[in-house]
Amino acid sequence: MQVSPFRILPQNMVRGDIIPLQVSREGHHNGVPEAPVHESAAVNFADALNRALQKVNDQQVEAERLNIQMVADPGSVEAHTVMIAAEKARISLTFAKTISDLAIRTYRELSNLR
């Protein structure tokens, strides 16, 4: 029978993936000071993922804005600028979709391990 460590510890001790350890003997650290506990890694990852997706969205919006500007006033923007912005947006969206697909596939493989 497997026992989850999260059911043994009180809820106020478990925050995301960080579980504080209690020192029973000073010698267990070998004189090395404890590292300060920062934000949860999951929160940092979520923030980084949100920022990356926001950049992808910003590139899509900028490419669309330049496209509309090119149609409305052809002399106001160069054609190569519109094409570069569109390609940057396409590449970043393709990359984001690839990363998303890999993450979903990895999750499915990990959840099927038994």
Lookup: tokens for 33: 């000071």
Alpha-carbon gap, residue 82 to 63, rounded angstroms: 7
pLDDT by residue (tens digit) across 76-108? 999 999 999 999 999 999 999 999 999 999 999
> Structurally, how many domains does the chain consist of?
1
pLDDT by residue (tens digit) across 35-62? 665 656 667 778 888 999 999 999 999 9
Lookup: tokens for 46: 């979520």
pLDDT at res. 45: 78
